[in-house]
Amino acid sequence: MSAVVSQPSLTLPSGAKMPMIGLGTWKSKPGEVTAAVTAAIDCGYRHLDCARAYENEDEVGAGIKAKLDDGTIKREDLFVTSKLWCTHHHPDDVERGFRQSLDKLGLEYMDLFLMHWPMAYKLQRGDVLFPQDKDGNWQFDDTHYTDTWKAMEKLVEKGLCKDIGVSNFNNKQLQDVLDICKVKPANNQVEIHPWLVQDELIEFCTKNGVTVSAYSPLGSPDRPWIKDDDPRLMEDPTVVELAKKKGKSPAQILIRFCLDRNLIVLPKSVTPSRIQANFESLNFKLTSQEVDLLKGLNRNYRGCALEWIKHPLHPFFPL
C-alpha cells in the first residue's frame, strides 16, 4: 500500500477546513455502507458526503461510531456533509429535516449542510421522498429556495451546523441566495467530470467565494436509471489512454482531474481496494496540458439531470 501525501483542504466561511477528497455514499446499498465508511476512515478519508435522500445515514453513523469508539478518529477530525431533502423546504420543516439526518448519523453537529436541490416537494405523511398523487402526478410545493435558505441560516445561528450551502444550483439560483443571505453559501455541490466540465459555473462560484464539490466524478456508472447503451466515462478512449500513460486507473485520472481544478471531489465506492485506490489519487498530479486535454472532452453530458421532474425551479430545465 503506497503512502499518501497529506490531504489538501479548502477553507469555508466559518474557518472550517473541508478535505478535498471525500467518500460519496449515494447508491451505497444497505449492509455495505458501514464497512465502506470504516474502510475509508482507516485508509485516511476524513470527509464523508451524506444525504437524507440516500436512505443510509444510519449505517454511515454506525461506521463513524465504530471508528470513534476504537480511537482511530475524534469527532473534530471528521468533516461530515448532509443535505436537506426537497420535502422539507418549507421554513417550518427545515430544522426537522436537518435533525433527521443529524440523529441518524449520531452526531451533535454537522460540518456542512446543503440544500439538495432548489426544487420543493410537498411533505407527505411517511416522509415520501418523491411524492405523487394517486394518478402519478408530482406533488410540488411553492416554497422558494431563498425562504428555505433563511431557515437554514438559523441552523448556523443555533450552533447546529458550521456551514451551509447548496447543491445542483445554477448561476442564477446561487445569485438569488447571495443577494439575500446573512450566512454566505460555503459550497455548491454539482456534477462535474470531463464530459460536463462546468467552467462557467465554477468561475462564478470562485468569483463569489463559494467552494465547489464535484459529485459523480466517475460518470456515475451505477446510477439507477442508466441504460445499457449509455456511454461510460471510464471507457472513454482519451481517459483510458491517459491512464495507461500515467500508470494509473481511469478512476484515478478522473478524480485527479477535479483535484487539479481546485475542486472538492466525492468518488463513491464500497469496495475497500477501490476506496484506497481512489484516495491515492492524492499521490500524483496532471499537467495543465493533460487537464486541458480532458476538458476538451466536454459534451455537457449529465448523468444526473432528473429531466423527468417537471418542476418550475428545475436548475437545468426551467419551465
| Cβ atoms of 258 and 265 closer than 8 Å | yes
Following DSSP, what letter does each residue of 122-191 receive, concatenated? ---TT--SS-B-TT--B-B----HHHHHHHHHHHHHTTSEEEEEEES--HHHHHHHHHH-SS---EEEEE
- Cα angle value 160/27/233 (rounded, 5°): 115
Residue 241 grid coordinates: 489512454
- 144 marked as binding residue: no
- Picking from 142, 122, 117, the residue whose alpha carbon sits closest to that of residue 53 is 117
Residues designated catalytic: 54
Please tell me the number of Cα atoms within 13 Å of 179 on its side-chain side.
Answer: 9
DSSP 3-state assignment of 285? coil
Residue 223 CA to residue 245 CA, distance in Å, equals 29
Beta carbons of 98 and 110 less than 8 angstroms apart: yes
Residue 177: Cβ within 10 Å count? 26
**Amino acid symbol at 102:** L
Q: Cα angle vertex 80, ends 20, 263, to 5°? A: 20
Residues 6+ apart with CB under 8 A from 13: 163, 183, 184, 186, 209
Binding site per annotation, positions: 116
Q: Which residues are annotated as a binding site for substrate?
A: 116
